[in-house]
Amino acid sequence: MWRVNNLNSKSTIQTVMDDIKKSKGISVADQSIYLDQGCSKLAQPRDSLVSKLKLKHGDILYIKFNTEQATTSVLAKAAPTARKSIAEDGSIVSKTTTTAETNAVRPGLMSLRSRKLHWTMDELMQLESNYTFKIQRQKKAVCAGVSLDTSMCQDFQNFCHQLQFKQYRGAWLYGKYVKMLKDSKLKAEDEKPAYDSRGRKLKVKAKRIKDGENEETQVKVECLYEPPQNCTDKTLELLEDPNEEHVESIAKALGLQRVGFVFAHPNDRNLTDVRFHSNEILLCAENQLLAGDEKMESPFVTVKCFKNEDNNVEFEPYQLSKQCLEMVAEEVLQNDTSKPSMCAVSDTFSVLVEAKEVGYVDNDFFLCRVPIMQHNSFLKVGLEQANRPTGHNWQRQPAQILQSFLPRKKALSTVERFSDFQVLMLLGKVLDKPTFHSVLQSITDKEIPLEDGNKMILDSLSGI
């Protein structure tokens, strides 16, 4: 929007056109000025602004002109200009800025006047607060604990050993969110039988914990899936997965969902000082955001696999704080490879740490530790992950891959032989849906026997 100044009661449309030519460099012949936004009511140059058009201060006119014919003075208004500034190290540097950047309320934003003409103090304070974050540590993670399958972890760390922990590796975790009571003593007391004054056992007992109260959410991980990825010693890039919907549908049929992300990082950092690099913070926060809701209270976990100082492999689960998720969603935080232990702050925003504005935030402010446990999943680990360099990569026919792998598992029962997430992903491409879902029911619920016809098909694929 352009503002035309120095108008009076004798001014005409011609006066406005002359002012635009002078300030914007658009010739009068190229200008067409209209009274309405739809550009249907054309104003004539001799029309008086006051006596004929009845215009007053603040009214809006609309202009059409040939942008290709506009003179370079229009571009000159937005051309960058150089100015001197003092850098953090005290040196004097030259910085170029445009007129729009100079007038902007904050870098990257429009000027206040371009939004509206008049602002109240409350509105200005609200605008400022929208772009200011005061860093606070989150005392407790939403997720109360995570239990990982032992064989799954062993297989993942073995492959990372093959890579000598010299590059990144990531995988999606599939499992369930389970509700657990916070106070196990109260739970134990509720489960004990109760007796009346005569020593008779009560059929109904008043519980000290009501359903839904005093509960916390934990994550139970049953398997993992390594998507296509491009990994180096500096970056972990998840690529588009043509089999993503297939993987998700099988997990859902097994009663599982995506509950976390595990990654291994190169063994090249001081773990005492740097637990997460900024690129890891951004990636894991995005994963947690995608798994959550508007409240950003998902129990989705991030598990870090690494070699400790004693050269032993460890798995550490974390969650990113709610404030970190908000800042990543607003694109406040940025990756600066020169300072991997800290996230850089976008120039558009202000971040305060202990009431002091900073340009970088220590990554530890965003991390919430999660207790870790282990269990044995109902899904076994056998067939190698599809998207590993040594895996099958979906290149051959699924039936051929199964027929070359399953004969090694003849000693297992039919259900146990196919209780492997990688095997099931291939089996889902071989069997029709009704047969496949019938097989999955027998795998998830051991009390449901495998139908004879299905058993014959599975044994045939196994070379039996």
Three-state SS annotation for 14-74: HHHHHHHHHHHCCCHHHCEEECCCCCCCECCCCCECCCCCCCCCCCCCEEECCHHHCCHHH
Q: Which tokens go with 271? A: 């773990």
Alpha-carbon 72 to chain mean position: 43
Nearest partner of 301 among 280, 282, 317, 316, judged by Cα: 317
CA distance 43 to 33: 6
Per cent of the chain over pLDDT 70 is: 79
CATH number for 143-189+213-374: choose from 3.40.430.10, 3.40.50.200, 3.40.140.10, 3.20.20.10.
Answer: 3.40.140.10
pLDDT 10s digits, 271-287: 767 789 999 999 999 99
Domain with CATH 3.10.20 in the chain: 13-76
Residue 329 token pair: 């969603």
pLDDT of residue 301: 95
- The region of weakest confidence among 50-64, 245-259, 294-308 is 50-64
Q: For the ranges 205-209, 249-253, 374-378, 405-409, which has the lowest average pLDDT?
A: 205-209
Beta-ladder partners of 134: 352
Q: Of the ranges 5-19, 48-62, 80-94, 297-311, which is most confident?
A: 297-311
Looking at residue 94, what is its pLDDT? 53
- At residue 352, does pLDDT exceed 70? yes
What tens digit of pLDDT does each residue of 323-345 get? 999 999 888 999 998 899 999 99
> Are the C-beta atoms of 148 and 316 separated by less than 8 Å?
no
CATH fold of 13-76 reads: Ubiquitin-like (UB roll) (3.10.20)
Check pLDDT > 80 for residue 194: no
Q: Where do the CATH 3.40.140.10 domains begin and end in the chain?
A: 143-189+213-374
Residue 70 — pLDDT band, cuts 50, 70, 90?
A: low
Residue 227 to residue 1: CA distance in whole angstroms: 49
Task: Record the tokens describing residue 43, joined without a space.
Answer: 């104003």
Query: Average pLDDT for residues 157-179, to the nearest whole number?
Result: 92
Model pLDDT for residues 36-69, shown as the tens digit of each residue: 888 888 888 888 887 788 888 778 888 887 765 5
Mean pLDDT of 388-417: 82
- Three state DSSP letters for 76-117: HHHCCEEEEEECCCCCEEEEEECHHHHHECCCCCCEHHHHCC
pLDDT at residue number 365: 93
Q: What is the pLDDT of residue 125?
A: 72
Regarding predicted confidence, which is higher, 200 or 181? 200
Whole-number Cα distances in Å, 73 to 2, 15, 25: 15, 19, 5
Find the radius of gyration of the CA atoms of the chain.
33
Contact 264, 169 (CB under 8 A): yes
Sign of torsion, CA 287 289 291 297? positive
195-215 pLDDT, tens digit per residue, is 655 666 655 545 544 554 557
Q: Is 8 helix (H, G, I), strand (E, B) or coil?
A: coil
* Statement: residue 154 has pLDDT above 50: yes
Task: Report the pLDDT averaged over residues 414-426.
Answer: 89
Q: What confidence tier does 227 reach under pLDDT thresholds 50, 70, 90?
A: very high
pLDDT recorded at residue 317? 94
